């Protein structure tokens, strides 16, 4: 598994990185397998609307670390609309 480190946190929210196991189906004749994965979750500050960004460093098991910039757009939900 690579390691992930938050280099530049978002100004209007919070990023959390978690290790999870994802289910994959129909991968090379395997009907169902679980694979380890890393996920990044962004949660905006209460009442924030607009653009935000974060930079994560992804360091693979072998090889050079890579910086990844994420651009995030937050819009207010309209309670009158149904989902």
**pLDDT by residue, tens only, the chain of 83 residues:** 889 999 999 999 999 999 999 887 766 666 678 888 999 999 999 889 999 999 999 999 888 999 999 999 998 775 554 44
Range of the domain at 59: 3-74
53 occurs within a structural domain: yes
Instruction: Dump the DSSP string for 36-77.
Output: EEEEEEEEEPTT--EEEEEEEEEE-SSS--EEEEEEEEE---
Rounded Cα distance between 46 and 63, Å, is 39
Per-residue pLDDT at 82: 44
- The total of structural domains in the chain comes to 1
33 occurs within a structural domain: yes
The three-class DSSP label of residue 81 is coil
Per-residue pLDDT at 83: 42
Per-residue pLDDT at 79: 55
Per-residue pLDDT at 78: 56
Per-residue pLDDT at 80: 54
């Amino acid at each position: 598994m690579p390691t992930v480190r938050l280099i530049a946190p978002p100004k209007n929210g919070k990023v959390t990185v978690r290790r999870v196991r994802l289910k994959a189906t129909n991968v090379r004749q395997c009907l169902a397998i679980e694979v380890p994965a890393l996920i990044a979750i962004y949660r905006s500050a209460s009442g924030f609307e607009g653009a935000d960004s974060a930079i994560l460093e992804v360091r693979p098991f072998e090889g050079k670390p890579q910086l990844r910039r994420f651009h995030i757009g937050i819009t207010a939900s309209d309670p009158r609309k149904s989902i």
